[in-house]
Structure 1
């Protein structure tokens, strides 16, 4: 009997024992699954590539973005390689996902809704269609189409690349207006519902600067100001243009510099939303008033209001839109109104004059919201760590 039990225990031990290779494979698979779930539903790491959010966020700030703040999205394209986005690393145009299965927009419950002045990561709304240049980099199809025309694009670019919502480029800006707000910009100052909007603590604007020696700001002082910007000369050879925070302005004036605010003074900028200079002579510093669509709200539709809401109707909310003279048809029915199916938001950079934001492409739909910028976990500049920025919260 003892011999029988001994054989059984030895057999069981042989069955249970795993090879080192199998143990490593199982551990790796567990790590990948766990990391993917965390990245999808809890938080994700991003790096700041541009100066559009200075001084709140600087180039080469590494941040964590909370996805549970507004509720994590269920992926639109669940079949994808882990830890990839719209293009496979080390390739120019290989997509690491398939649209064989596409799930409709759904968001799990979160701790809060989007609030004014939140710093938010979102999928670029016009990123559904992109062009690839010779270097394999993305170029905005819609802005190229408006400036160069369809014939030029067809002759000089490969086929248009289309992407589902969750695979569009990730951008980061500040939400200055939420659904239901009315926004207006007067001389570079944002007004929300008729009242001046909150100015971010590290907000930057464009200034004319004349230093005491009539030369550009030297590199040592630029480092002190934490600025990567190259000076731009004006007609006056002693005056230069910089983007500065209020603290930077105080520092320069204390050194004897003459510093004056500069706003954009050209009207009818064709780059600015809604791209209708005939009826809306707006620019980046003089803009609106504009209503930010709210779910369930109904607006009047005519040839004057259609430019604001056309992309919402036919692209974001998937209707068939047709215009015949002064008549507007949605899903084959003539209409003079439209009721929104989602909430929308208006995003702008804190470095206001160096930011390509909602002024240049319009509203951000709620299904494009990725998460709330949470904390800076690493930051470096010119191969040096910015120790004072580590583990600081994003305001």
Structure 2
């Protein structure tokens, strides 16, 4: 929905709220009309249930509000003597409409001096868990989120299985687009292998899609720079075999798979790869010392002098390209998929090594983006990355 549609939707919710709670307000010594005034009704209700006014902010934070609003329903009932487990369950499982029943059919003795401290150990535990979930979700969504590196694309800088914390406030945290979702999980509920969010990937006009929040990003204090390592949602993610085998799922942008990559070009840059070397604006890309790019190599060696290259590969953490059988190499030529220049130089000094040559693809291919030019993975571009205000020609080739 657009911001205007959300505004109208919220006004409708205020009418629904007022119609189902105005007698609670009157019983607490307030006016009936106060239950219908947007924002003000929430401030008054928080005073009635003896909760701090700053909770009002939590009502407008996606995901967190899904936890806080049911808590306020329960607190409202308890402020008027409805403290049983059944009352609590009915408030939550009827999505608050149980308050309608109480509002119109039950006496409402207001307990102005009610203690907000949980009366039982169980209540205290539940209260502590809910508070922890709210705080963790807020930090997770807007400040820092933990990730585990799933693939080897940044090998030698970040390893598979590395655990890291990623700052969201540096570049400006994005407000979740998906307003109805489980807290602190991404696209899947652990163990259950079920969607963690409300979205209909088969029907774009579904009411579930209308609950998507417009794109909104909180201002940050940094912008992405060349060579920054960034985590982002993969735009084209459809994920085959996600929940059901052999089926693809279209997901909302904030639930698309998380990718971690190094940013080589930023808006306004001209990006090119020549002979396997990246160029930005015509200059070779200078990577930080920690970055150790890997290349593919052809290695020719003499079996008589160097019959087993495996120990060298293991010692230097090199990914071999196959060709081994029964513990020995089948030929004198080995293709290595990923090896740094430093390791290649070391390998050239080993006795029995005849040649270590980087593999550079020369042949044109239409299998790389944008699939219309005779480029390949080692000779690519130049391609211009548009910046705000720039004008670019759009045709079948660009």
TM-score relative to the length of structure 1: 0.61
Counterparts of 2:115 and 2:234 in 1: how far apart (Å)? 55
Determine the structure 2 residue equivalent to 1:196.
Answer: 284
Give the 4+ runs in structure 1 shifted more than 6 A.
12-15
Query: Number of residue pairs matched?
Result: 266
Shift of residue 24, structure 1, vs aligned partner: 0.8
Which structure is higher in strand share? Answer: 1
Return 5+ residue gaps in structure 2 as ranges: 1-112, 200-207
Q: Secondary structure at the match of 1:107?
A: coil
* 1:136-170 deviation digits (Å, cap 9, x = unpaired): 57xxxxxxxxxxxxxxxxxxx54x41111110011
Determine the structure 2 residue equivalent to 1:73.
Answer: 174
Q: Secondary structure at the match of 1:250?
A: helix
1:208 maps to 2:298:
yes
Does the 8 A contact of 1:216 with 1:240 survive in 2? no
Alignment of 1:224-303 (within 5 A): 224-227=315-318, 229-233=319-323, 237-242=331-336, 243-256=338-351, 257=353, 258-270=355-367, 272-276=368-372, 280-303=373-396
Q: Give the greater-gyration-radius structure (CA).
A: 2
Q: Secondary structure at the match of 2:236?
A: helix
Shift of residue 69, structure 1, vs aligned partner: 1.7
Which structure is higher in helix share? Answer: 2
TM-score relative to the length of structure 2: 0.61
Counterparts of 1:205 and 1:231 in 2: how far apart (Å)? 12
* 1:74-116 deviation digits (Å, cap 9, x = unpaired): 1111221012212222345x31111432112211122210000
Alignment of 1:100-119 (within 5 A): 100=208, 101-119=211-229
Does the 8 A contact of 1:216 with 1:231 survive in 2? no
Does the 8 A contact of 2:302 with 2:332 survive in 1? no
Alignment of 1:37-116 (within 5 A): 37-92=138-193, 94-99=194-199, 100=208, 101-116=211-226
Relative to structure 1, the CA distance from residue 273 to residue 54 in structure 2 (aligned partners, 3 Å threshold; closer, same or farther) is: same
Return 5+ residue gaps in structure 1 as ranges: 1-11, 138-156, 306-395
Decide which moves more: 193-202 or 178-187.
Answer: 193-202
Over aligned residue pairs, what C-alpha RMSD do you find? 2.7
Determine the structure 1 residue equivalent to 2:78.
Answer: none
Relative to structure 1, the CA distance from residue 273 to residue 236 in structure 2 (aligned partners, 3 Å threshold; closer, same or farther) is: farther
Determine the structure 2 residue equivalent to 1:222.
Answer: 313
* 1:311-353 deviation digits (Å, cap 9, x = unpaired): xxxxxxxxxxxxxxxxxxxxxxxxxxxxxxxxxxxxxxxxxxx
Shift of residue 20, structure 1, vs aligned partner: 1.0
Higher RCO (C-alpha 8 Å, min separation 6) = 1
